[in-house]
A = this chain, B = another copy of it.
Amino acid sequence: MTIRKSTEERRREIADAAIKIIGERGLREFTAAHIAQEVGIKDATIFHHFKDMNEIILTVFDRLQEVLEAAQRSNGDPLERLERFVLSRLHAVTIQRGIQSLLFSDQITHALGTEGPRRVAALRNRGRDFVRSCLREAAEKGLLREDIDIEGAVILVTGTAMGFLFAAKDGVLPASADEMERRCWQTLRSALVRRQVLS
């Protein structure tokens, strides 16, 4: 009955299972036994592929970072980049949504000692940096309203992304995801950009 797979394949399966469990069932079920069950292998096998549980978490972080970077690697008009950033938070398919919610799970990270919290904070900061640079560029290009305070706007934008994610998680989006994406971004956009630009 034993199915043998290459290490790479197994590592991916295990990391996926870990993400799924943390996302859906919470940290308390992030255990070797649960992950193994999800993958369909035995606990001991996990440690054949990962040194220890921390290595799994670290791998999950790497994955999170990839996902986030993809959303931030877009190019083009700064406002379009912002748009893509905000929408990526909602657009994400299940596993991506799960992984993104890790951004606000400072809890996981504590298993790693102080390094964990630092790493999630760093990831959040990369988001802020990205937003800040988009906004700066937009401001320089005269796209934003003059009275906009960049730092305040950074919080506004990143926060809106968070608000999105949690509203979706809580299942309280008052319309279809697509529809809400549009309305929400519209609100955010019209809040920041020059009137005439909107036309």
Contact = CB atoms under 8 A, between A and B. Distances in A.
**What is the interface of chain A mostly: helix, strand, loop, or mixed?**
helix
A172 B27 contact: no
A187 interface: yes
A141 B109 CA distance: 46
Interface in A145-180: 145, 147-149, 151-153, 155-164, 166-167, 169-172, 174-175, 180
Given A104-B104, A183-B151, A110 B25 contact: yes
Interface of A: 25-29, 101, 104-111, 116-117, 121, 124-125, 128, 145, 147-149, 151-153, 155-164, 166-167, 169-172, 174-175, 180, 183-188, 190-192
